[in-house]
Structure 1
Amino acid sequence: MEDIRKVIRQSKTLIGPFPTFNVENTAAHPYELFLEWFQVAIANGVHEPHSMTLSTTDPNGYPDARVLIIKDVDQHGWYFASSSESEKGKQIEQNPNVAMTFYWPEIGRQVRIRGKAVKMAKEDCAQDFLKRGTVARAIALLGKQSTIMNRQQDADEALRNQMAILREHPDLVYPSWTLYRTVPEEVEFWQAQEDRNHIRLKYFFEKDHWSKHLLWA
């Protein structure tokens, strides 16, 4: 056990060089800066830059988090999808306040978003579902996410049966599939510095406009 503690303590972090972050010339809207950073992440070979951690709270107030992918970003918010009957879906129904965290270690950048998750129209949800891969749709149509499974063989057999049904009915849509939009209230952009004097720029939505301020590291 002592060996792994030593490995953890001695593991190096924030090894640059990192891109520069000129806070004097940032966009007025945080989604525009996010798209700029997203392009930088792609250009620098960040693996799965569209992956993010979605954080919610359960009925007892305990935080819950899992990694998802975003489906879209625009001036209205960040989009993700899931079954409304999943644990995260139930938690969002009970408390729509969520947090989304992107971390791109190759460029030392993190984006933190806090806001409310709102359901999109049924037509948008259906379109999103039909854009998913066949296996992903089949698994969703099983309607068993996060429930207890006795054997892996049960899942394999159920998936085979559902795949056969989809081949016959390729336009099937899982009725609980939901496309959510996180309407942001705060968005923070964090740029690592090798000397640990990190740069933090945070956007705040105030009444009808965005303001932005630097934060102490």
Structure 2
Amino acid sequence: MEDIGTTDVRQYLRGLAVFAGELPDFDPDAAPERPEVLFLDWLTGAVEAGVREPHAMTLSTVGADGTPSARVLLLKNVDRRGWQFAAGAASPKGRDLAVNPVAALSFHWPEQARQVRVTGPVAPESPEDSAADFLARSPGSRAEALVGHQSRPLPDVRELERATELALERVEREPGLVVPEWTLYTVRAERVEFWQADKQRRHIRLCYERRGEEWTRGRLWP
């Protein structure tokens, strides 16, 4: 790709395969009444199909200055209350949610040509639930959270190595230690869209919208 021109890049990208392989069936008329039920069906289908890290999702937030930010992290749970993830309250995403408690989640399972988009307000769970989530993490993950300083400049990588060693030692000494700022968040979805690709570009889009505690659903133009 060295010294490749803009036109060549465009042609290169247009030549990449999309929607390769056999795609799963999706009948939106037979979809369940609630979006989390369909989501779990698609998620387990992705697991059974061998999709790598199917619980990985893009979390998008908006900062105090209106600048959007996106990053990939792991889904922790989904039920009638909503979709859950965890983060440090002092992290960039935590700070965004403190001033703009809304978020968008995007799931992409390319092997099945499926996407799910979730949007809605975000609320922190109780300190007890957040602590339980923290203690369920691996020792290395807990040490990482204990080190902190996420997204701040790192002038010397040796500082990170030393801080991580000290944090691991502390986690081993204090197995019940919980970082106070660690927070389990729930996205209370107001809108959930399911997208199933079609090789002929007759893509299927099914949108759920919340009406109080009930949901309406309908198809969208592709």
- The Cα of 1:207 is off from its aligned counterpart by 2.6
Alpha-carbon displacement from aligned partner over 1:120-160 (angstroms, at most 9, x marks no partner): 00000000000001011001011211111111111011101
**What is the aligned partner in structure 1 of residue 106 from structure 2?**
101
Contact kept in structure 2, 1:16 and 1:108, CA below 8 Å: no
Name the CA distance, whole Å, in 1 between partners of 2:158 and 2:35: 46
The number of aligned residues is 217
1:72 equivalenced with 2:74 (yes/no): no
1:29 equivalenced with 2:29 (yes/no): no
**What is the aligned partner in structure 2 of residue 169 from structure 1?**
174
Name the CA distance, whole Å, in 1 between partners of 2:107 and 2:80: 18
Name the CA distance, whole Å, in 2 between partners of 1:10 and 1:212: 36
Q: Which runs of 4+ in 1 moved over 6 A?
A: none
**What is the aligned partner in structure 2 of residue 110 from structure 1?**
115
**What is the aligned partner in structure 2 of residue 53 from structure 1?**
58
**What is the aligned partner in structure 2 of residue 122 from structure 1?**
127
Return the letter of the residue paired with 1:79: Q
SS at 1:184 equivalent: coil
Alpha-carbon displacement from aligned partner over 1:167-190 (angstroms, at most 9, x marks no partner): 111111000000000000000000
Which structure 2 segments of 5+ residues have no match? none
Cα-Cα RMSD: 0.9
- The Cα of 1:83 is off from its aligned counterpart by 0.1
Name the CA distance, whole Å, in 2 between partners of 1:69 and 1:119: 16
SS at 2:195 equivalent: strand
SS at 2:190 equivalent: strand
Return the letter of the residue paired with 2:140: V
Name the CA distance, whole Å, in 2 between partners of 1:6 and 1:25: 40
Name the CA distance, whole Å, in 1 between partners of 2:66 and 2:18: 32
- The Cα of 1:48 is off from its aligned counterpart by 0.3
SS at 1:78 equivalent: strand
**What is the aligned partner in structure 1 of residue 185 from structure 2?**
180
Q: TM-score, normalised by structure 2?
A: 0.95
**What is the aligned partner in structure 1 of residue 220 from structure 2?**
215
**What is the aligned partner in structure 1 of residue 145 from structure 2?**
140
Name the CA distance, whole Å, in 1 between partners of 2:169 and 2:158: 17
Alpha-carbon displacement from aligned partner over 1:159-214 (angstroms, at most 9, x marks no partner): 01111111111111000000000000000000000111100000000133100010
Contact kept in structure 2, 1:185 and 1:204, CA below 8 Å: yes
Seq. identity, %:
41
Name the CA distance, whole Å, in 1 between partners of 2:31 and 2:10: 41
Return the letter of the residue paired with 2:30: N
Contact kept in structure 2, 1:17 and 1:194, CA below 8 Å: no
